[in-house]
Structure 1
Amino acid sequence: MIEKLANHFQMAFTTEFTPDNTANYWFQTEQGEIFGILKSALTEVELNLLRTLFVLIEDTETNSKNTIVQLKWQHFLFGHSNDLPFSDDIESIRFIYFRLKQPIADSINFEEAIKGAFYQPIVLWIHNQYGIIIEEKPQSIFDKEEFIQLSDTLTSDFLVVIYSFIGQLHRADLSLKEKFSLEKQCFQELLSYVEQEKTVLFYEAVPKLLVTSTHLIDPKLLSNYLIESLQDGEMLHTLNVFLQYNLNISLAAKRLHIHRNSLQYRLDKLINKTGIDCREFSNAAFLALAIPLTTKEIE
């Protein structure tokens, strides 16, 4: 479709998205690709048709401060910009990918309801049924039960079913572009599984990927926080023993010849850094798969 539009509009068409360029109408595809067409090259009929096919990104002259932030994130995640869209005090980011069973009539109030449940989130709409919540100051451990309650409330208030894929805790740096792209691919590959469960954490989904989408299993998919933790020899040995002894802190501490409080301190350090609570079975199962993957990458 984009190639046909490029051929039709020729010089009036561009994929070089710049938020401050108000001479173009900017559109976004369901895959997140952004393109622009000169306003002067579009008839009213053509504009209305494009609006039905793609998400129209409003120009910045009439945008609020929050919308300008959204444009910066769109440019960073889907465009060619390497300009970081967040302030210097942001250390970690989490992406929450969601899809609606049907288009929503009141998207503005829906977005406001989401914003009320998080600390200063950014909501990006990629399609009228697909979007992303960006947490710029997330808690280390994601509260799945609390999010399920939020989803149930939104379903009740807006009469729409929500399917969500909860991403990892990522370091706020340039690597976010690649991490986001890989996580988004996982969400798309596992959409039928997510629709079945409604809310799925990344750590719960990886075993499923091993069965259905092995081409996506790559160390680059993992959070840099986790990769760095598993490259720490002491932490890696601690985790291997903890997993070997079936998440039993007392037995693992005895095998490591340390006090159980010392072992708990090490585990808390991992939890706070990565957001992965290794004391939970699903997270521990994920770590058991991630350890050989990162070890192979190091070799």
Structure 2
Amino acid sequence: MNNDLQELFPDLIQVSYPLKDSSYHWYLNKQHGYIGIPKESINADQKAVLEFFLEPFTLNTDQLNMTAVQNIWHDLVYRGNLNRLEEAGSGSYRFIHFYLASNDTSRVDFSAAIHTLFPDAVLCWKDRSSGVVIEQSTVSMMTNKDFGAIIDTLESDLYAHLRLFIGKYYPVDERIVQNFQAEETCFNVLSIANPKLRVTSFSQAFIDLILTGQNQQLCQSMARNMLGSIVNEMDLVETIKVYIESNANATVAAKKLYLHRNSLNYRLDKFLEITGLDMRQFEDSLSAYLAIRLLEGLEEK
């Protein structure tokens, strides 16, 4: 198709991200990034036909003011353009989803405050009131408790209502868009179910989502996101399940599993390293248990 278009429009260009040039009509091509055709080279009938095959793309004001890194992540998570995976870099990242009820002035202040709190993070706006902060995993990271103080400070300084969803860390791979979308949908569902929601962690959000009794498919996606590759390590999953069912008593769990306590602790630490869930914390252990039981139920059907 691209060759046919190139013959029809010789001055067509293909780029990873659309240029800040209003003289082009831009179209999203998920296999090849973006296609730009000079407006003077295409008539109304051709444009109408082309839009049956390619998704039109319009740069808004926010996108025009984005940095190169913001463009990459915005294109990846909000457009689902997996061609930009390599540009996003390596390592693990988490998504801090937010909703800000404010005017444009406090919105500008919010961006400045975020860059002060997370100097190396990437801020992407989805629309005029919501977006995501993308934070890379480092040695010194803010904990979920830290965000309670942060939201108090921001709301006081900005005179605005703020909601936050603190996601979990994911590697940059082909599942990252799917993981992002599941978290974003969960955030939206919980915001409607609980308008007073201010800040929630991935674990707490998963528990609350289960309690709403809504969207079983989303619950399953969140459970898979939570456990990650652990779902394929049956011995480790069984260890976690028995440990929780033993009321987090390591001695009792080790006896049931015929393990030395050191071996049990090693498995707990491994689970924490891979999933970010600490089985010695009630909220994390409850969410892990619910996720395990939910996925076990699917396998039995």
Please tell me the TM-score bracket, short chain as reference. Answer: 0.7 to 0.9
Q: Name the amino acid aligned to 1:276.
A: L
Deviations 1:137-172 (A, max 9, x none): 256986111111111111222222211111122221
Give 5+ residue unaligned stretches, structure 1.
1-15, 27-35, 41-53
Task: Indicate conservation of the 8 Å contact 2:191/2:197, yes or no.
Answer: no
State how 1:116-195 maps to structure 2 within 5 Å: 116-118=116-118, 120-137=120-137, 143-193=143-193, 195=195
Deviations 1:103-127 (A, max 9, x none): 3514334223212323611111112
Equivalent position of 2:94 in the other structure: 94
Q: Name the amino acid aligned to 1:124.
A: C
Give 5+ residue unaligned stretches, structure 2.
1-14, 27-35, 41-58
Task: Indicate conservation of the 8 Å contact 2:183/2:222, yes or no.
Answer: yes
What is the distance in 2 between the residues matched to 1:148 and 1:37?
Answer: 48
Equivalent position of 1:20 in the other structure: 19
Deviations 1:205-231 (A, max 9, x none): 223323242334354334557231132
Task: Indicate conservation of the 8 Å contact 2:101/2:161, yes or no.
Answer: yes
Identity %: 28
Equivalent position of 1:49 in the other structure: none
State how 1:1-299 maps to structure 2 within 5 Å: 18-20=17-19, 22-23=21-22, 56-59=61-64, 67-79=67-79, 81-85=81-85, 90-118=90-118, 120-137=120-137, 143-193=143-193, 195-210=195-210, 211-222=212-223, 226-296=227-297
What is the distance in 1 between the residues matched to 2:126 and 2:221?
Answer: 24
1:242 and 1:202, CA in 2 relative to 1: closer, same or farther beyond 3 A?
same
> Which stretch shifts more, 147-156 or 225-234?
225-234
Q: Name the amino acid aligned to 2:61.
A: L
Deviation at 1:190, TM superposition (A): 0.9
Task: Indicate conservation of the 8 Å contact 2:63/2:71, yes or no.
Answer: no
Deviation at 1:133, TM superposition (A): 0.8
3-state secondary structure, aligned to 1:96: strand
Q: Name the amino acid aligned to 2:112.
A: E
What is the distance in 2 between the residues matched to 1:257 and 1:116?
Answer: 50
What is the distance in 2 between the residues matched to 1:39 and 1:153?
Answer: 47
3-state secondary structure, aligned to 1:116: helix
Deviations 1:233-256 (A, max 9, x none): 220121111011011222212322
3-state secondary structure, aligned to 2:84: coil
> Which stretch shifts more, 101-110 or 80-89?
80-89
What is the distance in 2 between the residues matched to 1:138 and 1:223?
Answer: 24
Deviation at 1:186, TM superposition (A): 1.0
Task: Indicate conservation of the 8 Å contact 2:80/2:177, yes or no.
Answer: no
Equivalent position of 1:46 in the other structure: none
What is the distance in 1 between the residues matched to 2:256 and 2:97?
Answer: 41
Task: Indicate conservation of the 8 Å contact 1:17/1:80, yes or no.
Answer: no
What is the distance in 1 between the residues matched to 2:166 and 2:277?
Answer: 12
Q: TM-score, normalised on structure 2?
A: 0.73
Deviation at 1:95, TM superposition (A): 0.8
What is the distance in 2 between the residues matched to 1:201 and 1:225?
Answer: 12
What is the distance in 2 between the residues matched to 1:39 and 1:194?
Answer: 47
Task: Indicate conservation of the 8 Å contact 1:25/1:38, yes or no.
Answer: yes
> Which stretch shifts more, 112-121 or 68-77?
112-121
1:225 and 1:214, CA in 2 relative to 1: closer, same or farther beyond 3 A?
closer
Q: TM-score, normalised on structure 1?
A: 0.74
